[in-house]
Chain A
């Protein structure tokens, strides 16, 4: 690890070594200082620990879920039977619920958060944008369980009375909007997710828009473009980053647990209706893990956790790469 030191006599050597200030990044201890070597070694171990944690997560969950993997194979993903009493476990209802609730969340949240970000970066004067930005960021600071509480007592009744009946009246011929209306449903879960991921998507889109060079805007304006046309140029420039922001929001929606668990109804059934209760992977873990008895039951649940881990891992990784491709080299860094 240590580089061969230039053999110069002191004190010129000390001066000579330190003059190459930028070399200290390259080797463990360019000065040959014992303290430096220990310091850097210790910090390196801490950084290494972070990688080990990720490796340990995969290893621990994979080994716990081998039992279920052996028992069900790939059929685990497609079977819709979830019956702990009969030791039959299939993940399909949870996968369906997770995918559908995330899609609903994105459909609502993407236009909303793009609007928020465009307004804050491109259109609002700084005096307005600054406090508004803070308020929107506060939405991200509210814990999931609080969204759940609010959802149970405010959002779900509101949707049940003011949103779902009209939807059923107008679009009742679609299977999506049929069935009885209880307020606790796939749609409710999707709506609360939409609210929760809006600050996340809009925060990243703001960074991306801020990273688009001012010259792009000036060029568009100089050509006679209106404000909106200029914004469209900026949006097109930040395209990959915006895609990354949306994928990042998707990752959050897929893994959100508490609020969804409290609002989605927790019934492991696949129903065409958005008004019917559903179940997500994260919710079944929250509900059943504590009380799971029997090795196969626990193993199947851990396997669900492993699936969730890999899906969010891939989603987040892809999103980071996309966002980095736009914001790299600017001071604005991607946020969680």
Chain B
């Protein structure tokens, strides 16, 4: 086979140096990836190892008790679920509607601004959302409440849901829309009856991810939902949550509470990992 002069002779030293650099850098990037994964495994491993010890049925159902008397996170689990349902009820419809608008009517400057604001809003620190909700809900009513916490979480949810919904609807082939329109359906029936069902699994995936994201939020709850040491089912009263409970226990000076913080974290991480892995599983199946 013909080979140019320069490739067979001469410059061999320079070439091998270049190749060495290339191999070194490849190894280095691989080491970076490995390092990130090791950190992940370390974190998950510690949570599993430290959390499993304090985990039992009593812990999962009891309310917090003073040091030395055991106690559990039953009210925090229920509180987190209440907050998640509340924020989903407020945030999902608004987010999905905004997403539909962006996907179906999303041309022009207004849609561009909405899209940009949604993306920017996802980057606003959640503690700032907490401050905002405090000023518009907690202060006027002079009352920390589950409702305020739900609103704060919903505000975090809306831009995430809006953008994933938009992306998912855009994936629906234009031929589906055209077919429905050609059959004489008005736009709203095409969107609600044909496009949305086709994009539903994707939208549900995005919604689940938003729930997973919001379920780990602590900062916006600190001065909206506050915390509560018993079960609470009234939306105008403070309510406990897993994350705030983890925070309070982990900065406490008591070993027993530290152990409970790890166990509560194990519960929270299980929820988040199950959602993430399930989403991964379903999306892979679809694509």
Contact = CB atoms under 8 A, between A and B. Distances in A.
Contacts of A14: 184
A306 to B, nearest CB: 8
Contacts of B110: 47
B181 A21 contact: yes
B36 A198 contact: yes
Contacts of B35: 112
Given A47-B98, A286-B127, A336 B28 contact: no
B101 A116 contact: no
Given A43-B97, A290-B226, A53 B155 contact: yes
A141 B272 contact: yes
B228 interface: no
B124 A255 contact: yes
Contact of A320 (B113, B120, B181, B265): B120
Interface in A313-336: 313, 315-317, 319-320, 333-334, 336
B159 interface: yes
Given A46-B97, A313-B120, A149 B246 contact: yes
Most chain A beta carbons < 10 A, residue from B33, B111, B126, B181: B33
Contact of B19 (A39, A124, A226): A226
A85 B186 CA distance: 65
B226 to A, nearest CB: 7
B39 to A, nearest CB: 6
Nearest to A284: B127
Contacts of B30: 119, 123-124
Interface in A300-316: 301-302, 305, 308-309, 312-313, 315-316
Contact of A256 (B118, B125, B188, B216): B125
A282 interface: yes
Nearest to B7: A224
Given A152-B250, A153-B258, A262-B250, A145 B218 contact: yes
A285 interface: yes
Secondary structure call for the A interface: helix
Contacts of A118: 29
For chain B, the bracket of interface size reads 35 or more
Given A198-B36, A199-B36, A315 B123 contact: yes
A285 B133 CA distance: 13
A72 interface: no
A161 interface: no
A248 interface: yes
B25 A231 contact: yes
Contact of B32 (A47, A115, A149, A315): A115
Contacts of B226: 290
B121 interface: yes
Given A61-B135, A112-B36, A154-B46, A43 B101 contact: yes
Contacts, number: 283
B37 A136 contact: yes
A38 B191 CA distance: 13
A25 B107 contact: yes
Contacts of A134: 280
Given A33-B187, A136-B37, A257 B125 contact: yes
Nearest to A19: B182
Given A46-B101, A115-B29, A146-B265, A282 B219 contact: yes
A146 B271 CA distance: 13
A142 B33 contact: no
A182 to B, nearest CB: 15
B94 interface: yes
A150 B124 contact: no
A262 B251 contact: yes
A135 B277 CA distance: 10
Contacts of A93: none
A44 interface: yes
A124 B36 CA distance: 15
Interface in A240-259: 248, 251-252, 254-258
B162 interface: yes
Nearest to A146: B265
A167 interface: no
B117 interface: yes
Interface string B161-187: 010000100000000011001101011
A50 interface: yes
A329 to B, nearest CB: 13
Q: Closest 8 interchain pairs by CB?
A: A143-B216, A255-B125, A115-B32, A316-B123, A39-B188, A46-B97, A226-B22, A119-B29
22 contacts: A21-B177, A21-B181, A43-B97, A46-B93, A112-B35, A115-B29, A123-B29, A136-B36, A138-B276, A139-B36, A139-B39, A142-B43, A143-B272, A145-B216, A146-B43, A147-B43, A195-B39, A226-B22, A257-B219, A282-B125, A289-B131, A312-B128
Interface of B: 7, 18-19, 21-22, 25-26, 28-33, 35-37, 39-40, 42-43, 46-47, 50, 93-94, 97-98, 100-102, 104-105, 107, 110-111, 113-114, 116-132, 134-136, 155, 158-160, 162, 167, 177-178, 181-182, 184, 186-189, 191-192, 212-213, 215-219, 222-223, 226, 243, 246-247, 250-251, 258, 261-262, 265, 268-269, 272-273, 276, 280
Given A120-B33, A308-B125, 8 more contacts: A21-B177, A25-B107, A40-B101, A46-B94, A50-B118, A51-B114, A123-B29, A285-B127
